[in-house]
Amino acid sequence: MAHVRAQIRDAVVTAVTGLGATVTKSRFFPNDASALPVFLVYTVNESVDVGQGSGAATMMRTLSVVIDASAQAAESALDDALDAFAVSIETAVGGNTFSGLALETRLVSTEMNTSTDGNKPLGTVRLMFDVIYRTIRTNPSTTV
Amino acid sequence: MVGSFIETDLASIFETAVFAVQMLYTPSGGSPVLVTGVFDNEDVEVDHGDSSFIQRSAKLTCPSSSVTGIAVNDVFQQLDFDDEGLISSSTTVVVDLGFITATAGSSEDYGTVSDVGYGYTVAFIKDDGTGVVEIYMEAA
């Protein structure tokens, strides 16, 4: 069975699918701007708090999940387009426990990035969520 | 105001027989005119932190004198040379798109400009101060 981190990543992809953009878990190769809008879902880091005393067998994990929502729009409409995606994503992901995989999911930061290097203004709103989940120390594939 | 020798050089640089092309330029509230320049429409990589994008970047480089008064949101349109053909002679250049006929060096009749080709609006302009302007375009 896959690591819970991978299961959460897949669950986030499912949660944001159907919100008006192509969803992919990859961020490694450049994306074709003609295929925008796109949501890139990936995880960047995870902190672990090892349980003490009777809970020593468990690990409380806080996973940082990033969703980059990118779109092209006219200069005057780009920020609004990105914020519209932010509304959809925050609604779908914030507070979601992904069928019991997570104990809690909360938005921790939002970052806007825009550019006019190409022939259409292009922007990305980066939403970072903390997804808190717990596993047994010897089994990272199952939540408890 | 640039020296006449520079104007002469620019005429060579923007020769349509080499790299330059003609585009239909329509100033806001004005009439369409043909502008000759070097049109670049290359892919560029746009970096947005962990992610990046390949995107077209359209730019026309042309003599400043051919677009005096140019402003943001003016319109440029590509001419479809492949389908309609460009006929040139020593004295005239004729672009015939069926519904538009433009003849340099003689009277011009553009007819109704409704659909010339892929359109752009001017996003921003960089004038190098020596008679050449770079016009960065936003795809329509």
Instruction: List CB contacts (< 8 A) between A40 and chain B.
Output: 50-51
Q: How far is A75 from chain B (nearest CA, A)?
A: 9
Which string of DSSP letters, residue by residue, matches chain B?
---HHHHHHHHHHT-TTTT-EEEEEE-TTS--EEEEEEEEEEEEEEEETTEEEEEEEEEEEEEGGGGTT--TT-EEEE--HHHH-EEE-SS-EEEE-SS-EEETTS--B----S--SSEEEEEEEEE-SSSEEEEEEEE-
pLDDT score for B93: 40
Interchain pair B53, A118: CB under 8 A: yes
Compute the distance between CA of residue A69 and CA of residue A128 in angstroms, rounded to an integer: 11
Interchain pair B55, A27: CB under 8 A: no
pLDDT score for B2: 58
Q: Flag whether pLDDT at B132 surpasses 60.
A: yes
pLDDT score for A128: 98
pTM of the model: 0.76
Average pLDDT over residues A25-31: 82
Q: Percent of chain B, pLDDT > 70?
A: 66
- Higher-pLDDT residue of B111 and A105 is A105
Q: What are phi and psi of B108, to 5 degrees?
A: -115, 140
Compute the distance between CA of residue B23 and CA of residue B102 in angstroms, rounded to an integer: 11
Parallel, antiparallel or unpaired: strands A139-143 and A122-136 = antiparallel
Q: How far is B81 from chain A (nearest CA, A)?
A: 22
pLDDT score for B112: 33
Run of H or E residues at A8: helix A4-16
Render pLDDT for B45-56 as a digit per residue (tens, 0 to 9).
Answer: 988 888 889 988
Instruction: List CB contacts (< 8 A) between B139 and chain A.
Output: 119-120
Q: Flag whether pLDDT at B83 surpasses 50.
A: no
Probe site for chain A from B50, B59, B125 (most A CB atoms < 10 A): B50
Q: What is the largest CA-CA distance in chain B?
A: 55
Q: Flag whether pLDDT at A98 surpasses 80.
A: yes
Compute the distance between CA of residue A82 and CA of residue A70 in angstroms, rounded to an integer: 7
Interchain pair A32, B53: CB under 8 A: yes
Run of H or E residues at A81: helix A78-93
Compute the distance between CA of residue A121 and CA of residue A74 in angstroms, rounded to an integer: 6
In 3D, which of B140, B138, B118, B135 has the Cα closest to residue B61?
B135
pLDDT score for A53: 59
